Amino acid sequence: MTVVLRRIDVHKLDELRRAPVDAEALATAREVLESVRTGGDAAVRAAAERFGELPPDAPLVLEERELARALEATPSDERALLERATERIRAFAHGQRASIEDVALPIPGGRAGHSVTPIDRVACYAPGGRYPLPSSVLMTVVTARVAGVAEVWVASPKPARIVLAAAAVAGADALLAAGGPHAIGALAYGTESVPAVDLIAGPGSKWVSAAKQLVYGHCGIDMIAGPTELVLLCDDSADPGIVAADMLAQAEHAPDARPVLVATHAPLVAAVERELEAQLETLPTAEVARLALANGFAVVCDDVEQALAAADALASEHLSLHVREADRLAARPRHYGAIFIGQGAAEVFGDYGAGPNHVLPTAGAARYASGLSVLSFLRVRPWMRIDDPAGAAELCHDAAAFARLEGLEAHARAAERRRGGG
């Protein structure tokens, strides 16, 4: 079967935006969450066993010592791989943290500023359905630890040994051996063996995303993630073989992944299609990748300006530039989760621990949201101090005036008492 990418008109891209979760997923998640809220550990275990995540005699929660034992049983080459990726992620996160500082500024009669403090307890979700994802454990847990979070849990269904080892290397306190909405419910509401957390972070299925959406407000979440996406913006200098390889790397994630080729050179699309077919012949994950390629498409643009506009309209999770003068053009796109500048910057390097985080906004959310970072686990809280009441007379006057403008007399009187006027 020859690969033929759907052709989408550049002027119709706004019509393709997908909601990260659908009504069916929300309904299912709501039912599961309620069962966990009222049933606790028993409900979580029942769901985990029903979905084949947990054998009947297996522990629901793995403590730090069990994670450490998994790490000890990990072959030395795999352990070294985890440790190298961890150090790169940690170094990048430390750089982010160092860029975020407390602030103190003078105001009339005193000072005001903000303090930056970590969240107390968080949970990091790592998918474990089609493939075990130790990389997601590292991305979330290491970043939370660098932010200064005191207690970090991991949740992952059917956790493979390498996932447990990653949790140990990253510094997790414990792991909930369950996934889906039942894991999100346990983390949000708390159960007999799982404490309620303050924030849940990490990617997951549409049912996980639906559950995160529903528990938001009861606890915080990083984002509501939809299916993974990659836009490759290419001109006639792009290598069709590398473009095809990048599209397949994205496509093998899941059938609903969306690999997109935005090209300024029409013959490139046909060349990439030939490469896709050739590379699929020997790809073990070809069945999944073909489904995702059918979900993806190609957009042929008149020039680079139109291609840049197309990339902004898509506001994709990942944007990869396979163009001349990629460094110069990289400043032009406005909407993307992460950008990969030039043919050498493979998106898979971002997936596997080059440093920047791979938990990124999808479904157009890059228009208003950022990916996971140290900032996701920090609170920026303002403070104010008045040392000189006489020097704050202007503040007292203006606060009282605004209060009366809005019809709030008690506010005005509270302000005026600070200068002896009430």
- Of 318, 322, 347, 358, which is the active-site residue? 318
Choosing from 253, 317, 322, 347, which is the catalytic residue? Answer: 317
Q: Alpha-carbon distance 383 to 333, whole Å?
A: 36
Q: Backbone dihedral region of 358: left (phi > 0), alpha (psi from -120 to 50 degrees) or beta?
A: alpha
Catalytic site includes residue 253: no
Q: Is 151 an active-site residue?
A: no
Q: How far lies 254's CA from each of 230, 296, 368, in Å?
A: 13, 12, 25
- SS3 of the chain: the string is CCCCCCECCHHHHHHHCCCCCCHHHHHHHHHHHHHHHHHHHHHHHHHHHHCCCCCCCCCCEEEHHHHHHHHHCCCHHHHHHHHHHHHHHHHHHHHHHHCCCCEEEEECCEEEEEEEEECCEEEEECCCCCCCCHHHHHHHHHHHHHHCCCEEEEECCCCCHHHHHHHHHHCCCEEECCCHHHHHHHHHHCCCCCCCCCEEECCCCHHHHHHHHHHECCEEECCCCCCCEEEEEECCCCCHHHHHHHHHHHHCCCCCCEEEEEECCHHHHHHHHHHHHHHHCCCCCHHHHHHHHHHCEEEECCCHHHHHHHHHHHCCCEEEEECCCHHHHCCCCCCCCEEEECCCCCHHHHHCCCCCCCCCCCCCHHHCCCCCCHHHHEEEEEEEEECCCHHHHHHHHHHHHHHHHCCCHHHHHHHHHHHCCC
Catalytic residue numbers read: 317-318
